[in-house]
Amino acid sequence: PHKKVLSFAPTFPSSSLLITRLRLVLLRILLRGGKKETSAMAPLRRAASAAAVLLALTGLFLLVLSPADAATAAVEGGELRMKQSDGGYSYNSTLAHILVEYASAVYTSDLTSLLKWTCPRCEGHTKGFQMIEIIVDVEKCLQAFVGVAPDPRSIIIAFRGTQEHSASNWIEDLFWKQLDVTYPGMPDAMVHHGFYSAYYNTTLRHEILKSVQWAWKTYGRLPINVVGHSMGGALASFCALDLSVKWGSHKVQLITFGQPRVGNPAFAEYFNEQVPRTIRVTHENDIVPHLPPYFYYLGEWTYHHFAREVWLRETIVGNVVTRNETVCDCSGEDPTCSRSVYGRSVADHLEYYGVNLHADSRGTCQFVIGASNSAYGDILQFDGTIILSRYPQKRYPVESI
């Protein structure tokens, strides 16, 4: 039978826990006393009853409002940037529901339909997206795109996750990745060379920076949303850090889904300072956010997540699925969030917010380019890289890459 998804999204850390505790206190007041109830307790009991009803109605309202309805309401007239609070930048559930669709679309192997934005995943909240460029590193099986979104009006940079012959082999390899590269300008910040090189030492970075500059000259200084899933989340992280250091963190937001750890505690601290508008979404028992492993007693010689995590969980009762979105603390390694479970699920890694995050055909690294592609843009091939550009006139040297 069709399952109805209900959503409850707290807007600050541990809000659901606070509401639960308040309900328990009110319940105790309501049940306390009995025959020996004093006159002083009566007004308190009536107030507790009214408060309990109010809390119940509030919870009912939050549950009835589905993610799609919430997203539509906010897109039509709301502000979709992350808001700053005393504890950092707060989680925007509507924004996450929109950007996960771009993280899904970048897995499309039919590059012509992706360039024209007519692919099956190019619908929903991403409708009206204007592609600028698709970059594909065939040898390393990397794919990213840059374009302009209507809602939220911004530049979107999306990175595809792993599409290898065996996803299980890639996950197993994550156990053994070593911290073997010092991040430039930060002597104590260590990262893994594979994650670092996939962004900085391929064509991706150069083409992305050129596309962003072209978009700014064409559309104005729009904010930038960087997204990615799995390995794509690791690349998106380095991209967001690169853009923030280069052009200012006030222009850059990062949301990743099921990404692995990429650096040590010193790198995580540096990242938090440079890219404060960051949300790292995890899902249930997804195995990848647990990798490479975190060892508390190894200090700077262990991997450490940057903040801020949002942990998605589902509760199924009959044919109703309730989705809980828990905003975690600022440590990056909140022991009450995804670290509280033994993550070992690949299935939880491949779906976020009910959206599939994997290639249509698993097991091979393949791309399809239609014969009609030249009618929509240029195709450039060099050094094992394919670039599909809707705007060939943007070919000019990038300022200060």
- Please state the rounded mean pLDDT for residues 338-366: 86
Residue 58 belongs to domain spanning: 4-65
* Same domain assignment for residues 21 and 128: no
Mean pLDDT for the chain?
Answer: 79
* Same domain assignment for residues 34 and 88: no
Alpha-carbon distances, residue 84 vs 101, 202, 234, 251 (angstroms): 24, 34, 24, 14
Across 138-152, 163-177, 333-347, least confident range: 163-177
- Is residue 186 assigned to a domain? yes
Question: pLDDT tens for residues 183-228?
Answer: 998 989 999 989 999 999 999 999 999 999 999 999 999 999 999 9
Flag whether pLDDT at 353 surpasses 90: yes
Flag whether pLDDT at 401 surpasses 50: no
* Same domain assignment for residues 52 and 151: no
- Is residue 142 assigned to a domain? yes
Question: Where a domain ends, among 13, 35, 65?
Answer: 65
- Please state the rounded mean pLDDT for residues 217-241: 97
How distant is the alpha carbon of residue 304 from its chain centre? Answer: 17
Alpha-carbon distances, residue 132 vs 373, 376, 390 (angstroms): 14, 11, 5
Closest CA to 150 of 126, 118, 124: 126
- Is residue 367 assigned to a domain? yes
* Same domain assignment for residues 101 and 190: yes
**Cβ–Cβ < 8 Å for 189, 183:** yes
- Is residue 372 assigned to a domain? yes
Q: What is the pTM of this model?
A: 0.79
Question: pLDDT tens for residues 370-395?
Answer: 655 555 566 777 777 888 888 764 45
* Same domain assignment for residues 171 and 50: no
* Same domain assignment for residues 155 and 54: no
Predicted local distance difference test score (pLDDT) of residue 323? 87
- Is residue 72 assigned to a domain? no
Alpha-carbon distances, residue 169 vs 175, 178, 367, 393 (angstroms): 10, 17, 21, 42
**Cβ–Cβ < 8 Å for 3, 66:** no
* Same domain assignment for residues 151 and 39: no
- Is residue 401 assigned to a domain? no
**Cβ–Cβ < 8 Å for 225, 99:** yes
Flag whether pLDDT at 250 surpasses 70: yes
Question: Where a domain ends, among 12, 33, 65?
Answer: 65
DSSP string, 297-350: GGGGGS--PPS-EEEEEEEEETTEEEEEEEE--TTS--TTTGGGS---BSTGGG
- Is residue 71 assigned to a domain? no
Burial class (CB in 10 A: 0-12, 13-18, 19+), 379: middle
Flag whether pLDDT at 34 surpasses 50: no
- Is residue 14 assigned to a domain? yes
- Please state the rounded mean pLDDT for residues 251-258: 97
Flag whether pLDDT at 164 surpasses 80: no
* Same domain assignment for residues 89 and 137: yes
* Same domain assignment for residues 233 and 318: yes
Can you give the CATH number for the domain in which 308 is found?
3.40.50.1820
* Same domain assignment for residues 272 and 354: yes
Burial class (CB in 10 A: 0-12, 13-18, 19+), 229: buried
Flag whether pLDDT at 4 surpasses 90: no
* Same domain assignment for residues 57 and 90: no
With bands split at pLDDT 50, 70 and 90, how would you rate the model's confidence at 84?
low
Please tell me the distance from the alpha carbon of residue 194 to that of residue 192, in angstroms, as a whole number.
6
Across 172-181, 242-251, 283-292, least confident range: 172-181
Among positive and negative, which fits the CA dihedral 250, 252, 258, 260?
Answer: negative
Question: pLDDT tens for residues 274-302?
Answer: 999 999 999 999 999 999 999 999 999 99
* Same domain assignment for residues 215 and 247: yes
Angle CA(216)–CA(217)–CA(222) in degrees, nearest 5? 25
Diameter of the chain measured on Cα atoms: 86
**Cβ–Cβ < 8 Å for 276, 249:** yes
Q: Which phi and psi (to 5°) does residue 203 adopt? A: -70, -20
Query: How many distinct structural domains can be found in the chain?
Result: 2
Predicted local distance difference test score (pLDDT) of residue 177? 81
Please tell me the distance from the alpha carbon of residue 208 to that of residue 220, in angstroms, as a whole number.
17
Q: SS in 3 state form for 242-309? A: HHHHHHCHHHEEEEEECCCCCECHHHHHHHHHHCCCEEEEEECCECHHHCCCCCHHHHHHCCCCCCCE
